A and B are shown apart, each in its own frame.
Chain A
Amino acid sequence: MTQQVRLRINGELHELSVEPRWSLLYVIRDQLGLTGTKRGCEHGDCGSCTVLLDGVSVNSCLVLAVEANGREVTTIEGLAQNGKPHPLQKEFVELGAIGCGYCTPGMLMSAKVLLDEIPHPTEKQVREGISGNLCRCTGYAKIVKAVLAAAQNGG
């Protein structure tokens, strides 16, 4: 009992048959091999699986693949353009915002949505904007600094 879906992922069109119970996360990781998106809790608690669905950040573990039919998905693999790091990626690397790196892809995607909506956020807005993404390594201090720096530098 599968269903055909069309997903545009990082600009590339994928047509595939999915089971109704499959999450978007499962399809991205296990059917399409885009393992940059991480599975941390499968409960929408940790934000490690954050992707953009038509430009809005979602926990891909809470979205069924069939719900994403006909829609545009951006994953961490689609953040850099032509191999050039996005300003957020550059600042995360340079300012020490990456610990073990497991939360990083989801954190970057949430930060991207934040800067798309609020190009020059306050520190408080950054903290709220990424509060759906848990990190156990950094205490968030350098992540917040990196997002603010990216905003300064045209993120």
Chain B
Amino acid sequence: MAELTWVGKNVPKIDAMEKAFGQAKYAADMRFPGLLYGKLLRSPYPHAVVKSIDTSKAEKLPGVVAVVTKKDAPNFRFTKAAHQVLLYPPLAAVLDQYMFDDHVRFVGDPVAAVAAVDEQTALDALKLIEVEYEELPAVFDVEEAMKSGAPQLHEGVEKNIAALLSGPFTHGDPEAGFKEADIIYEDTYDTSRNKQCQMENIASIAMFDSSGKLLMYSPTQMPHLVQRQLSLIFDLPMTKVRVVTPMIGGAFGVRLGMITEPYSALLAKVTGKPVMVELSRKEDFSGTETRHPIRIHLKIGAKKDGTITAEEATMITDAGAYATHAVAVTSVGALMLYRIYKCANVKVEGYVVYTNNPVAGAYRGYGGPQAAFALEQHLDALAEKLGMDAIEFRKRNHYNTGDIDMGTLIPITSCALAECLDKGAEAANWREKRKKTPGSDPGPKKRGLGCGTLMWASGTACWIGILDFSTAMVKVNEDGTVNILTGANDVGAGGKTALCQIAAEELGVNFNDVSISATDTDTTPFDIGAHASRTVYANGNAIRIAAKEAKRQILELAAEMLEAPAEELVARNGSVYVKGAPHKGLKMGEICYQAHIRGKQFLASANSPQTNAPPYGAQFAEVEVDTRTGRVEILKLVAAHDVGTAVNPQLVEGQIEGALQQGLGYSLTEDVIVDKETGVVVNPSFSDYQFWTAADMPPMDILLVEPDDPTGPFGAKGVGEHGLAATAAAIANAMYNATGVRFKELPMTSERVLQALKEAGRAWD
């Protein structure tokens, strides 16, 4: 690749200084004249029918402007998981939500909303709303929910099975494959309900103007899809719904659609005033979407030489009260069970099951971490039974560049998984440390080393069952500076900084001369949103293509001005010159001003191409398990990730480091605990949830492996999500290496670890 000026450089984030100065405006920092504060009244019961609601006392409280219930809301059935409407066969969206329903299905289901002059008054008013509920029997366990006679959550949904996915995830002849196998290994794994824990409280601000146009300030990950959904709910043309994104204080999937937006819009409509609805942290823990707990039963057969001959899996996904993302999450999980490693005969069945638990939805990894926790432990166990090194077994079986990606059914354009495994193994001292027999350390504290691998995606283009694209416009000003208009959001990962680096590189302008818009659906073209590790790859591709066209236009005029053929011109660092004569060039501003006085602006737009490049990674954990107490200490993590070209290596490392913190919590401590009698979340705070602090973190070694992907912008692939996909698996495998015991339920808390050690007769007396 030619020498690059901006791509590959650690430029600071474009918004870092305003964040460091406390000047960045998040939704709840915005102020408008007459702003009202909205709050939601939520069901205290996990399953009930609302018999009646009396709002009269609340309405009389001074400072209350409006109280709304089901009768005031559009009678429109939708899903808050806005992008599920872009699913297509073999997948399909499940539309099962109303703004308010008189059948409530979890503790936290909204039944009414209040707008008042200040937050405290709104909270006081909630207490004055009198709701008569008729309690219904509730069900919290997926297997119980699937039995005949279980409480039914949704009309017409037999045995609470919202969806059964099987056809798309089956190929070959599993029965014949298992007959070929020399060994067959079978086990069941349970994953947990955990929480995104974005630091910013969830909020949105809505207002209507006198023409009836809705302006929505929403820190959603998918502003253009929220625009569309709000237009459908409120029966408005899309020109009458304008969604603008303020700064976003973290997302990790929780904002993959709508949360408070329909409620702030309804209250704004009823009151005629701007309304902010902001959730408390407690509401966030119990009332917004979590990761899906998935029970995975896995059976894999292999030959003595290490060939995997057949794989069968059953996944039971606890969707909670509403389906939201459950169909897509389960399908991603199903694909991830056979996407990294070759197997000709596969059958996966996925059950999406309603329970009266809190609603699950999108969380970083989206089915991937659940699948990895099962599959990667399973592979380790198989390797051991075959007498093969766990890394050699993986290297022997994984798909490679040129093979068909089972998630997208297009060829894999680059895969450096083997290099990730080798580099990671070296950094973790695998060869030396894995010599021991599991559980053989003397004394109660036992050390072990384990690994897990991951494969992810750069967006969902070409992915089975879902649409994906970005559009970007490049506008060159008469002084040679550049505006990028795009609907891409930056949830905090730095995607927009990387996009500016890509634009500057392609156009040959200075990085500081590129500005990128905040999303405003009135002016920015469509982008599906900031999800699936897609922004830098897909939006970056759209920007690069548009920038190429803008550059062509610039060079066309420059050729005339410099009296040289356009193909002999070079644009770099804000100047255009004839190849080999950089001192005799023109400033970008001179060319653009010349265009300006001739009545022309350089302007180009492009859609992202329908391509997808999978990133990979190998993670290693070294642990010490105290077999007296079950306490697990993480001594070191190594993450070797194939990210394609790292557009901004510092930001890429930061993404992986942040993901590892979430992966550690997922592995050992974090769990949204639901009381099995009342359906109440019993730990709705950061401290009770056991969020990891700076003092808790182990040393982390991040290794970037950078193959030049032919489809990515300057070779880049997605990096947003996948850093946590294999962490729990690597830790579980390390714990096995330490103790000789498999831990199959997340999180692997001290209590569970000690219990499993006791059951295996390996606890220290």
Q: Which A residues contact B (CB, under 8 angstroms)?
A: 21, 29, 33-43, 45-46, 48, 75-77, 79-80, 85, 89, 92-96, 98-105, 108, 126-128, 130-144
Q: With A and B bound together, what is the CA distance between A96 and B13 in angstroms?
A: 7
Cβ of A93 and Cβ of B22 under 8 Å apart?
no
Q: Which of A34, A42, A103, A126 contacts B199 (CB 8 A)?
A: A103
Cβ of A89 and Cβ of B654 under 8 Å apart?
no
Q: Which of B12, B26, B281, B650 contacts A41 (CB 8 A)?
A: B281
Q: With A and B bound together, what is the CA distance between A101 and B16 in angstroms?
A: 7
Q: Which of B199, B650, B695, B700 contacts A102 (CB 8 A)?
A: B199
A29 proximity list for chain B (CB < 8 A) = 29
Known contacts being A45-B686, A96-B651, is A131 close to B694, with CB within 8 Å? yes
Cβ of A101 and Cβ of B19 under 8 Å apart?
yes
B19 proximity list for chain A (CB < 8 A) = 98, 101, 104
Cβ of A139 and Cβ of B650 under 8 Å apart?
no
Cβ of B658 and Cβ of A94 under 8 Å apart?
no
Known contacts being A35-B25, A95-B650, A99-B658, is A134 close to B693, with CB within 8 Å? yes
B700 proximity list for chain A (CB < 8 A) = 139, 141
User: What number of B residues sit within 8 Å (CB to CB) of A?
Assistant: 57
How would you classify the secondary structure of chain A's contact residues: helix, strand, loop or mixed? loop
Chain B 31-61 interface residues, beta-carbon cutoff 8 Å to A: 31
Cβ of A139 and Cβ of B657 under 8 Å apart?
yes
Known contacts being A45-B687, A99-B250, A137-B658, is A93 close to B20, with CB within 8 Å? yes
Cβ of B21 and Cβ of A33 under 8 Å apart?
no
Cβ of B686 and Cβ of A46 under 8 Å apart?
yes
Query: Would you give the 0/1 interface string for B272-283, flagging 1 where the beta carbon is closer than 8 Å to chain A?
Result: 000000001100
A136 proximity list for chain B (CB < 8 A) = 196-199, 250, 252, 658, 661-662, 691
Cβ of A45 and Cβ of B685 under 8 Å apart?
yes
Chain B 625-662 interface residues, beta-carbon cutoff 8 Å to A: 650-651, 653-654, 656-662
Known contacts being A96-B13, A136-B252, A140-B694, is A41 close to B685, with CB within 8 Å? yes
B22 proximity list for chain A (CB < 8 A) = 34-37, 75-77, 79, 104-105
Q: Which B residues contact A (CB, under 8 angstroms)?
A: 10, 12-13, 15-17, 19-26, 28-29, 31, 120, 196-201, 247-252, 280-281, 491-494, 650-651, 653-654, 656-662, 685-687, 691, 693-697, 700
B686 proximity list for chain A (CB < 8 A) = 41, 43, 45-46, 134
B693 proximity list for chain A (CB < 8 A) = 127, 130-134, 140
Q: With A and B bound together, what is the CA distance between A36 and B28 in angstroms?
A: 11
A134 proximity list for chain B (CB < 8 A) = 197, 199, 686, 691, 693
B281 proximity list for chain A (CB < 8 A) = 40-43, 45-46
B13 proximity list for chain A (CB < 8 A) = 93, 96, 98
A130 proximity list for chain B (CB < 8 A) = 693-694
Name the residue of chain B whose CB is nearest to the CB of A78. B22
Q: Which of B13, B19, B491 has the most CB of A within 10 A?
A: B19
Cβ of A101 and Cβ of B249 under 8 Å apart?
yes
Cβ of A98 and Cβ of B199 under 8 Å apart?
no
